[in-house]
A and B are shown apart, each in its own frame.
Chain A
Amino acid sequence: MGAQFDISFVFSFLPKLLGTLSTTLLIVACSLLTGIIVGFLVALPRLYKVPVLKTLSEIYISFFRGTPILIQLFLFYYGLPEIMKLVHVDMTRTPVLVFVILTYGLHTGAYMSEMIRASVMAVDKGQVEAAYAAGMTGFQAFTRIVLPQALGIAVPVFSNLIIALLKDTSLAFTLGVMEMSGKAQTLGSLTQHFIETYIALALIYLVISFTIEKLLLVAEHHLLRHEKRNTPEKKLFKINKSWSYRRIIAELGPGKGGTGL
């Protein structure tokens, strides 16, 4: 299958794949933005227990977490134009990228809302009460007291979500978007050097996710600088010293269902 393995092709493919990195990052950035906004809107009814909206947002989260992103991509790509046709909006000329970003945005939004909910709930309720006692309004208490603390708690999950999103974008090729995976497939079939292309592709993804993880680790330390390290040292089963227990739990907690594809 394919031509003889030749490691030099990996290096020659790297720059070619990097040329489409911007598309991948564009998808990631735009859907992340959409995801954060949607996530907030969806998390608020659940946090403040708004009757009907709460149920709706639960259904939304359940659907987007309960179906594979690949199915969602196809569903939106084929379904949205038909639904929009009912309200007389023509979407036949909309670029594919819009559908892709919308789907990834809504998909991440479901996970984002879970992240936001979990991290806000992790902030001690006494903090809010103290803020009220000091005379702050509900909005002030949220933005000045809860949010800064919740941000620090959310960072590990957030970093996992971004990496999961990055990895998910590799599926956009199924709708014909020329991002890195799509480019890799064309390069592979053009040159018949499939293994080398996919090694190059994997390397690029690895470097990006590693960078994102490191950057957000720095952000986490910055955000948690006011936290007193007063948690009693847990005598855990051979605990790996370099990792704090909370981080491991947070990473696996309400994050992406274990596998980010």
Chain B
Amino acid sequence: MKLDPSFIWTALVQILSAIPTTLYITVVSVLIGFVIGVAVALIRLYRVPLLHPLAVGYVTFIRGTPMLTHLLLIYFGLPVLIDGLAVHFGWSFRSVSIPMIGFAYISFSITAGAYMSEVVRSGLLAVDRGQLEAAHSIGMTTPQALKRIVFPQALAASLPNLSNSVIGMLHGSTLAFTVSVVDINAKAQIVASTNWKFFEAYLAAALIFWALTFLIERVTSVIEKRINLYNRGGVA
């Protein structure tokens, strides 16, 4: 086995075909995770009875255990649950018809939800309470005030953390190989073992991830500049 620099390029081209899968997993888990995160954050901020302890338990559990265990628990647990319910209620739907990537979507969304809820919570906490009070005083209802006044500011405040979470999920999506989804990592494994050139293949995969991460960071900084326009201070 000898280092073959030209193979890095060959591997890179082959692995490129797996980028969409990785991006699908990342985007889906981040979007669903964001929705879960907003719901959980609001439940925790407003201390909704009954739901509040559940939300705290959810966030603690997810943040205290590796993403791998979530994936494996969903992968092995969900079919049992669904099939049990299906038999009980007489549905024709069976867990076999869930595609492999579905498990990745579900599990990573649940993972992302817990991390996103912390991001959203810190963003909401960063907004001055007077903003909400001012919105109330000019006659907005709380949902209106949240939507028009608090959320835009919270979004600006939590953008760096949000981008960190997206990067985290991008990197976390490499775990999808455990449920036989061919993402960048799995593709690198395939390319590596068919050509017996492990180092080169993983180097190519690392370069792709590095580039994707860099891209996310760039895009975030552009959005951050755009979103913070109103925040520039001064009189003009």
Contacts and interface: CB of A to CB of B under 8 A. Distances in A.
Interface of A: 1-2, 5, 62-63, 65-72, 74-75, 78-79, 82-83, 86, 163, 167-168, 170-171, 181, 188, 194-195, 198-199, 201-202, 205-206, 209-210, 234-240, 245, 248-249, 251-252, 256-261
A235 B133 CA distance: 11
Contacts of A1: 76, 79-80
B40 interface: no
Contact of A71 (B3, B44, B122, B185): B185
9 contacts: A71-B209, A82-B199, A170-B66, A170-B69, A202-B65, A235-B129, A235-B130, A248-B121, A257-B171
A71 B61 CA distance: 26
B199 A78 contact: yes
Contacts of B150: 237
Interface size class of B (residues with CB under 8 A): 35 or more
B119 A258 contact: yes
B169 A259 contact: yes
Given A1-B80, A198-B72, A259 B168 contact: yes
B198 A238 contact: no
A66 B122 contact: no
Contacts of B130: 235
Given A74-B198, A251-B118, A258-B165, 10 more contacts: A2-B76, A65-B213, A163-B63, A171-B66, A198-B76, A235-B130, A236-B126, A237-B127, A239-B129, A252-B119
B213 A66 contact: yes
B206 A75 contact: yes
A237 to B, nearest CB: 5
Contacts of B72: 194, 198
A49 to B, nearest CB: 22
B199 A68 contact: no
A2 B206 CA distance: 35
A237 B209 contact: no
Contacts of B115: 258-259
A252 B37 CA distance: 15
A83 B203 CA distance: 13
Chain B interface mostly: helix
A17 to B, nearest CB: 11
B134 to A, nearest CB: 12
Interface of B: 1-3, 44-46, 60-61, 63-70, 72-73, 76-77, 79-80, 111-112, 115, 118-119, 121-122, 124-132, 150, 161, 164-172, 174-175, 185, 188-189, 192, 198-199, 202-203, 205-206, 209-210, 213-214
Nearest to A260: B168
Q: Can you list the 10 inter-chain pairs with the closest CB atoms, starting with the nearest? A: A259-B168, A258-B165, A78-B198, A68-B171, A170-B66, A66-B213, A167-B66, A194-B76, A258-B168, A258-B164
Nearest to B205: A71
Contacts of B213: 65-67
B210 A248 contact: no
A82 B3 contact: yes
Given A68-B174, A181-B66, A236 B129 contact: yes
Contact of B68 (A195, A199, A237, A261): A261
B80 A195 contact: yes
Contacts of A257: 164-165, 167-168, 171
B205 to A, nearest CB: 5
A168 B67 CA distance: 9
Given A236-B127, A257-B171, A259-B165, A206 B64 contact: yes
B158 to A, nearest CB: 8
A202 B131 contact: no
Q: Please indicate which of the listed interface residues B80, B170, B171 has the most CB atoms of chain A within 10 Å of its own CB.
A: B171
Contacts of A236: 125-129
Contacts of A69: 171
